[in-house]
């Protein structure tokens, strides 16, 4: 099955209206820092309705893959914005091609689980910005008992942000197996392909592994012994070198009695050396 991924698109801005409180900058920072689909996956819903039925119009239409924050300029003011990237279902792609559900709103919990920090728990798409616009959200914040959203929230602390127009573009992505899955597959191939080996073959492999382990178990001790021997040998060589130098020095300063002595000088010409 083909997989698609969206472009990064803006879903919330600090100071924006929600159906409970004004969106804080710290919430967006925490949401970007904390989001992890493995912790809690934020799904895509119509109008923030969550249906339990897989064939319902209000079924899930994809998942949020990642969120991040960026500084943006709105009406000359710098503000922190939250951006999201999603993985759509074929139904959401079809809606997008038909120019349907082009507004998005996030559900943010400012005290998620036991963390005490903000987290993105859902994203909604809608055709009508008014359905999640400033007026209805402000009304809901002022009169929560009359809010049309009171039964749609993930938790008592979650809230819906104002819907913003979104230009969604989807690109196909190659669904590559993870590195660990690739490694496992290669190991399987080396051990005999995708079909399991019989007990005898696995026993042989086990014996081979044990033989290798037995062969190398004494290797650290052998290396240590070799290192010790090498050190001792080096010490002996150095001592022999010093002894040799000392011997050469001694020999150089010692008279050689095996050489013939020079005869005494008796004088020159017709004169003879007097003897007393």
More reliable by pLDDT, 108 or 267 = 108
Specify if 265 maps to a domain. Answer: no
> Which residues lie across from 164 on neighbouring strands?
104
Number of structural domains in the chain: 2
Report the pLDDT value the prediction gives residue 27, as an integer from 0 to 100.
Answer: 93
Would you place residue 36 in the very low, low, confident or very high pLDDT band (cuts 50, 70, 90)? very high
256 in catalytic set: no
105 is catalytic: yes
pTM over 0.75: no
CB atoms within 10 A of CB 89: 15
Which one is catalytic: 19, 110, 147, 158?
19
Q: Which of 6, 105, 140, 147 is labelled catalytic?
A: 105
Confirm if 72 and 15 have CB atoms less than 8 A apart: no
Question: 27: how many CB neighbours lie within 10 A of its CB?
Answer: 26
pLDDT at 276: 47
Mean pLDDT across the chain, nearest whole number? 77
Confidence check: pLDDT of 183 > 70: no
Is the pLDDT confidence value at 59 over 70? Answer: yes
Q: Given pLDDT bands bounded at 50, 70 and 90, which one contains residue 230?
A: confident
Catalytic residue (choose from 48, 140, 153, 158): 48
What is d(CA 168, CA 6) in angstroms, rounded to the nearest whole number? 6
Residues 191 and 149 in one domain: no
Q: Which two tokens stand for residue 62?
A: 């994809």
If asked whether residues 22 and 89 sit together in one domain, one would say yes
**pLDDT grade for 34, boundaries at 50, 70 and 90:** very high
Residues 36 and 161 grouped into a single domain = yes
Name the domain boundary from 173, 191, 207: 173
Q: Is residue 257 part of a domain?
A: no
Are residues 193 and 162 located together in one domain of the fold?
no
Question: Considering 173, 189, 214, which residue would you say is the last residue of a domain?
Answer: 173
CA atoms within 13 Å, Cβ hemisphere of 221: 4
Residue 255 domain-assigned?
A: no
Domain with 31, as residue range(s), is 3-173
The proportion of the chain whose per-residue pLDDT surpasses 70, expressed as a percent, equals 68
For this structure, is 215 an active site residue? no
């Amino acid at each position: 099955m083909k997989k698609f991924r969206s472009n990064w698109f803006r879903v919330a801005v600090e100071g924006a209206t929600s159906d409970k409180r004004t969106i804080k900058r710290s919430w967006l920072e925490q949401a970007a820092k904390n989001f992890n689909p493995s912790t809690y996956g934020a799904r895509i819903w119509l109008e923030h309705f969550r249906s339990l039925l897989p064939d319902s119009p209000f079924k899930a239409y994809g998942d949020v893959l990642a969120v991040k924050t960026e500084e943006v300029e709105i009406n000359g003011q710098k503000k922190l914005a939250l951006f999201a990237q999603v993985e759509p279902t074929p139904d959401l792609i079809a809606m997008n091609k038909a120019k349907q559900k082009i507004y998005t709103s996030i559900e943010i919990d400012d005290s998620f689980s036991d963390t005490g920090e903000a987290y993105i728990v859902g994203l909604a798409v809608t055709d009508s910005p008014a359905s999640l616009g400033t007026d209805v959200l402000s009304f809901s914040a002022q009169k929560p008992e009359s809010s049309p959203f009171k039964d749609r929230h993930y938790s008592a602390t979650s809230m819906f942000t104002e819907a913003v127009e979104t230009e969604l573009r989807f690109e196909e992505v190659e669904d590559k197996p993870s590195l660990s899955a690739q490694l496992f597959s290669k190991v399987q191939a080396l051990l005999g392909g995708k079909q399991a080996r019989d007990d005898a073959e696995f026993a042989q492999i086990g014996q081979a592994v044990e033989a290798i382990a037995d062969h190398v178990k004494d290797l650290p001790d052998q290396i240590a012994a070799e290192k010790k021997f090498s050190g001792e040998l080096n010490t002996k060589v150095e001592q022999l070198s010093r002894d040799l130098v000392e011997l050469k020095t001694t020999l150089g300063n010692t008279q050689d009695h095996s050489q013939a002595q020079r005869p005494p000088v008796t004088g020159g010409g017709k004169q003879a050396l007097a003897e007393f």
